[in-house]
Chains A and B, each alone.
Chain A
Amino acid sequence: MAFALQTEKLCKSFGALTVAEQIDFRLEPGARHALIGPNGAGKTTFVNMLTGAIAPTSGKIFLNDQEVTRTSQAARVRLGLGRTFQITTLFRSLPVLDNVALAVAERRGDAQRMWRPASAHREIIDESLELLATLGLADDAAAAAQDLPYGKQRLVEVAIALGLRPKVLLLDEPAAGVPSADTEKILRHLEKLSAEIAILIIEHDMDLVFRFAQRITVLVQGQVLVEGPPEEIAADKRVRDVYLGEATHA
């Protein structure tokens, strides 16, 4: 069976410091999978290896059964790997519409067209507006991204990734820094995403994780501690010790 995303014995060390050790990970097509772990567990490093932002020391990465270990970040995007950033990474001064349209144009292969005005490319604009509407951002299309409330900026982040029509979507703490009322909104929009997209969510908000994910992988000190459905993870003694325990005591 083909996995949407798969790693084999993935390792990364910075000098003597090992931040990823023999990670075997599988994301099934259409999965709703969460990656959790205490601070410094190596979650961000793992995601950066998946997207191609940093190269692994050893091991392999497959996207839909195609090896992409040495493939550039941009080429992985074209193969269907989309991501959002933990720290909002938008075109801040540009209108929300343009934020999404740039991604849509890139995916359609229209980003190098040099003659007809961008604003005359209705097909790009209509698709972007449609996408914004599904995320409840239709009224904000003309506003500069930096003028939106933070919760909405997080949704723009998701809209940009969706503009790429990804087969695999990595959500790096989609609700980071968002007030809890808005977390609910973001979660509702995430739940509505197409079942064809395999989603890996990296998140600190346990409430969000246990409601969203059908499968959870726990990463501790660069290693997979355990993987399973939410009930199993919640009941796991080791997980409670290293992670959930800390969280509830805190």
Chain B
Amino acid sequence: MSGYSADTRIRWTEWLPWVAAGAFFFLLPEYLSLGARILIFILFALSLDLILGYAGIITLGHSAFFGLGAYTAGIVSTQLAINEPFVQLAAAAAVAALLGVATGAVILRTRALTLLMLTLAITAILLEVANKATWLTGGADGLSGVKVDPILGFFRFDLYGRTAFLYCLIALFLGWWVVRRLIYSPFGAMLTGIRENTTRMHAIGAPVYWRLVLVYTISATMAGIAGALLTQTNQFVGLNVLGLEPSGDILVMLILGGVGRLYGAFIGPVVYLIAQDYLAKQYPEYWYFGIGTLLIAVVLFAPGGILGMVDKLRDKWLSLYKQKSSARASAR
């Protein structure tokens, strides 16, 4: 719970993702490229949670920023021959932020279904542009030949994905830190206010529209960085980073994990991508069936996502424990 009554100290459970990531690095070296992919999608999901979970902006077009970031990082290398990783990241962040502020300023005047359709339209347009502008993006063949220099001139992207994993982990850690500060700040409390009651926010003099544009831009920037990380770790960009499908995927991941809970964005991609990896190997034709079943199960039985279910179980267990201990105390 964020806001003015929140306890903002970092709880021990909040270190678990980082411990898990560290353990993953040492214990599962052959899965590091999957690991890096998971970290990237956690960052992407985190950016979505900021606008969906906290500000209440519903979107089916968040891949626009992810995809634009991915292509920008790639094009900076293929067209401008700039292979410095931080420059590529910065370029992707800047271009995604620009798209965020430009489209946000137009579409955030609308709400609900209209907004949903407009977000979808924007990523669909970008997908079509990427598909047609073959000279720039490689079109349906994808953009190959992306080069990334060693990080800080020293850490080369190796075959085993060690550098990629740690690079993404550091980026995610910084992203998590920024988002955590944001949601616990007065700004975050204000976003929750907009989600809870927009009428009331207008009545206390909040320029709601501008605030939404601001948070939308911040989120777009983060999504753009996540996209750039994908390009840098794969040294390739495909059309599958744009359009409805990746937007839907990231939404499903966030819903699986739990919306508006910060760590739902961590759990969702882990479960989704591991399930996808496993199912795609076992049942290459039917793996979406498994993902779909998983989503239906979560929506039916755990509307707060996996994390919501964990919270519920913990509360139940705590109240049972309290009952027992008070019964014991009264028996004495």
Q: Which residues of A contact B (CB under 8 A)?
A: 51, 73-78, 83, 85, 89-95, 97-98, 101-103, 105-107, 110-121, 124-125, 128, 141-142, 160, 163-164
Interface bin, chain B = 20 to 34
In whole Å, how far is A13's beta carbon from the nearest beta carbon of chain B?
24
Q: How far does the alpha carbon of A92 sit from the alpha carbon of B182 in the complex, in Å?
A: 22
Known: A101-B4, A118-B188. 12 other contacts (CB 8 A): A73-B202, A83-B203, A91-B196, A94-B3, A97-B5, A98-B193, A102-B201, A114-B187, A119-B5, A119-B184, A121-B4, A160-B200
Contacts of A124 in B (CB 8 A): 4, 186
B203 and A89 contact, CB distance less than 8 A = yes
A118 and B205 contact, CB distance less than 8 A = no
In whole Å, how far is A161's beta carbon from the nearest beta carbon of chain B?
8
Contacts of A77 in B (CB 8 A): 203-205
B166-194: CB near A (< 8 Å → 1, else 0) gives 00000000000000011011111110110
Contacts of A114 in B (CB 8 A): 181-182, 185-188
Q: Which residue of the partner chain B has the closest CB to A103?
A: B204
- Kindly identify, within residues 203 to 229 of chain B, every residue whose CB is under 8 Å from any CB belonging to chain A: 203-208, 211, 214
Q: Which residue of the partner chain A has the closest CB to B5?
A: A95
Give the most central of B6, B8, B197: most A CB within 10 Å.
B197
B190 and A102 contact, CB distance less than 8 A = yes
Query: Contact partner of B8 among A75, A97, A119, CB < 8 A?
Result: A119
B205 and A110 contact, CB distance less than 8 A = no
Contacts of B8 in A (CB 8 A): 117, 119-120
Q: Given the known A-B contacts A77-B205, A115-B181, A117-B185, are A105 and B5 also in contact in the complex, defined by CB atoms under 8 Å?
A: no
Give the most central of B2, B186, B196, B211: most A CB within 10 Å.
B186
B7 within 8 A of A: yes
B323 within 8 A of A: no
B1-27: CB near A (< 8 Å → 1, else 0) gives 011111110000000000000000000
7 closest A-B pairs (Cβ-Cβ)?
A77-B205, A117-B8, A101-B4, A103-B204, A91-B196, A117-B184, A114-B187
A116 and B185 contact, CB distance less than 8 A = yes
B240 within 8 A of A: no
B204 and A118 contact, CB distance less than 8 A = no
Q: How far does the alpha carbon of A157 sit from the alpha carbon of B190 in the complex, in Å?
A: 17
A117 and B6 contact, CB distance less than 8 A = yes
B199 within 8 A of A: yes
Contacts of B7 in A (CB 8 A): 119
Q: How far does the alpha carbon of A78 sit from the alpha carbon of B203 in the complex, in Å?
A: 10
B197 and A118 contact, CB distance less than 8 A = no
Contacts of A142 in B (CB 8 A): 5
Q: How far does the alpha carbon of A97 sit from the alpha carbon of B5 in the complex, in Å?
A: 7
Q: How far does the alpha carbon of A94 sit from the alpha carbon of B189 in the complex, in Å?
A: 10
Contacts of A110 in B (CB 8 A): 186
Q: How far does the alpha carbon of A103 sit from the alpha carbon of B214 in the complex, in Å?
A: 19
A102 and B5 contact, CB distance less than 8 A = no
Q: How far does the alpha carbon of A102 sit from the alpha carbon of B204 in the complex, in Å?
A: 8
Contacts of A116 in B (CB 8 A): 185-186
B205 and A164 contact, CB distance less than 8 A = yes
Contacts of A101 in B (CB 8 A): 3-4, 189
B196 and A92 contact, CB distance less than 8 A = yes
In whole Å, how far is A182's beta carbon from the nearest beta carbon of chain B?
22
A106 and B205 contact, CB distance less than 8 A = yes
Q: Given the known A-B contacts A117-B8, A119-B4, are A94 and B196 also in contact in the complex, defined by CB atoms under 8 Å?
A: yes
B196 and A111 contact, CB distance less than 8 A = no
A128 and B202 contact, CB distance less than 8 A = no
In whole Å, how far is B304's beta carbon from the nearest beta carbon of chain A?
13
Contacts of A112 in B (CB 8 A): 186-187, 190, 211, 214
B186 and A111 contact, CB distance less than 8 A = yes
Contacts of B208 in A (CB 8 A): 74
B187 and A113 contact, CB distance less than 8 A = yes
In whole Å, how far is A93's beta carbon from the nearest beta carbon of chain B?
6
B203 and A73 contact, CB distance less than 8 A = yes
A-B contact pairs, 5 of them (CB 8 A): A74-B206, A102-B204, A110-B186, A111-B187, A125-B4
A113 and B185 contact, CB distance less than 8 A = yes
Give the most central of B4, B184, B197: most A CB within 10 Å.
B4
In whole Å, how far is B188's beta carbon from the nearest beta carbon of chain A?
7
B187 and A89 contact, CB distance less than 8 A = no
Contacts of B190 in A (CB 8 A): 102, 105-106, 111-112
In whole Å, how far is A170's beta carbon from the nearest beta carbon of chain B?
10
B5 and A111 contact, CB distance less than 8 A = no
In whole Å, how far is B202's beta carbon from the nearest beta carbon of chain A?
5
Q: Given the known A-B contacts A93-B196, A119-B8, are A98 and B189 also in contact in the complex, defined by CB atoms under 8 Å?
A: yes
Q: How far does the alpha carbon of A117 sit from the alpha carbon of B2 in the complex, in Å?
A: 9
Contacts of B5 in A (CB 8 A): 95, 97-98, 119, 141-142
B2 and A118 contact, CB distance less than 8 A = yes
Q: How far does the alpha carbon of A103 sit from the alpha carbon of B193 in the complex, in Å?
A: 10
Contacts of A91 in B (CB 8 A): 192-193, 196-197, 200
